[in-house]
Amino acid sequence: MRTIVIATRNENKIIEIKAIMGNSDFNFKCINDFPKIGEIEEDGKTLRDNAIKKAKITALKTGLWALADDTGLEVDYLCGAPGIFSARYAGAGCSYSDNNAKLLDELKGVPLNLRKAAFRCVMALSSPTGDIITVEGVLFGKIMEAPRGINGFGYDPVFMVRGTNKTMAELSSEEKNSLSHRAKAIQKMKLCFIKCR
């Protein structure tokens, strides 16, 4: 069974990726299983840059295939912000609640029809020698005026999925994992996993 290292310390992402992958022919580990790998600074100019950097460094340091993603929330009214800064929108060490509060404050008074947004996930798969494959998944929706729901993480409570009347946080894990931006990226990436066998 081939081992793939998920290049993140975010437990929510690890759980989600494993759930979306379902029963597979791969043994998934995470970067926390390799203490010698320090923090990988996300200093790229794009989501793709960050995903590639995390995957490549992890693969080269472990000698294993590595999978990384970088995900951003892009709000039209805010010219694509928070984008690559989504995880630290409210500042270093901020919480999910802090980020949501800042986002809602930035959109205060903006009508719902102008609150269009998209979750964008870029996923990178690196071979042990640093060869890279990237894919992307996008989910469209809009930002609500207040958080709703208790599931998920990040901006899920304020992001209403287009074509539904539910925020991501109001969806069950099964529903979310069938339609999310990360699910779309992983479905594309599954075709690439053949190279890892």
**Catalytic center residues:** 70
Q: How far apart are CA 159 and CA 145, in angstroms?
A: 10
Retrieve residue 191's tokens.
């075709």
| Closest residue by Cα to residue 147 from 159, 161, 156, 157 | 157
Q: Please, what sign has the CA dihedral across residues 159, 165, 171, 177?
A: negative
Q: How far apart are CA 182 and CA 31, in angstroms?
A: 19
15 phi, psi to nearest 5 deg:
-60, -45
